[in-house]
Amino acid sequence: MRVVAAMSGGVDSAVAAARMLDAGHEVVGVHLALSQSAATLRESARGCCTIEDAGDARRVADVLGIPFYVWDMAARFNRDVVEDFTREYAAGRTPNPCLRCNEKIKFAALLDKAVALGFDAVATGHYAQIVETADGRRELHRAVDAAKDQSYVLGVLDADQLARAFFPLGDTEKPRIREEAAERGFFIAKKPDSHDICFIPDGDTRGWLTRRLGEAPGDIVDTAGAVVGHHEGAYAYTVGQRRGLGLSRPAADGQPRYVVEVRAAANEVVVGTADLLGVNAISGDHARWCGPPPEGIVRVGAQVRAHGEEFAATAWAEEGRVEVRLDDRIRGVAPGQSVVLYDGTRVIGSATITASRLERAPAAAHAD
């Protein structure tokens, strides 16, 4: 099989490419140039996609003896990931750019180009597993290493994309991957992992958004509408946030306050007590199914953060929308996040959260 190995310059993608070669595939290494003004050197463990990273990927390809190319997808990445990220925050939502990148870049733009050039599949260094069923279907499952599991950010992949995807690291824990990289003679065996948002290497999301959107002063209000503080841009806040609010008036009961709503149209941030964050009902759109969509109401595990807890729930699909009812309340669910649904370790699919709320059980009828 002819396979494009996406090589970021990190240890995971290097070992993934090597394993595909060991499995007997014809492998070509490809580094994605995603920045329109890539930095020369990596300044921290947060960023990636620098010229240094491209050079690291090329040197690993040389060790493996495989062809290596750099594909420029900066314009597509800027349009589909960076601009989307900016628009979502400007609208008061909290997006996950890694899901959007996997959907739009790595398993749409990259895979489409690879197939157009005659390749059969794409392999990446994500920690997840592909399991083939008895009838030949391919399912997406959690990785063996729970601490590194990335199935959440792959929950946007559909069955056609999974049919042409390989995740060679899913059956191995991360410390063993580093050991294997060293055994193979890869000089990047101890290279730090990248973290957070690759296009915000310093980790200052608020500062990055301010530079792109400009300052937009407004009020922070409590749930009664009283002004309790001020902000320089509602886009810099997310539901569940407690730190950095800078409130001028303490709560009357002395309880800590959290962001409970971001009203982008009014440029207001609403704060309230922790009990207002508890929800047990989630609505989502932009449903993406890793296989056949669920029929009727099904029991699922629901996850709303990349490395968050999985919660017991029921869910059902409604014409591109998803409704989820959690068995217990959870806190800090923000519009724009993704809810990913699981059946055991299998990923069923995902949706972008549009709303969350607390639905109270109807009161029992009184007997006469």
Catalytic residues: 101, 198
Give me the helices (H) in the chain, please. 11-22, 51-64, 74-77, 83-90, 97-101, 110-116, 159-162, 174-183, 205-213
Cβ-in-10-Å burial (0-12, 13-18, 19+) of 19 comes to: buried
308 Cβ neighbours under 8 A, 6+ residues apart: 152
Q: Which of 216, 214, 210, 221 is nearest to 232 (CA)?
A: 216
Q: How far is CA 291 from CA 78, 340, 347, 351, in A?
A: 29, 13, 9, 14
Q: How far apart are CA 326 and CA 349, in angstroms?
A: 16
Q: Cα 291–96–45 angle (5° rounding)?
A: 115
With the CA atoms of 349, 353, 356 and 361 taken in that order, what torsion angle do they form, in degrees rounded to the nearest 10?
-20
Q: How far is CA 247 from CA 37, 39, 77, 209, 259, in A?
A: 38, 37, 37, 21, 11
- CA torsion through residues 152, 58, 105, 33, sign: positive
Locus of tokens 């399991």: 131
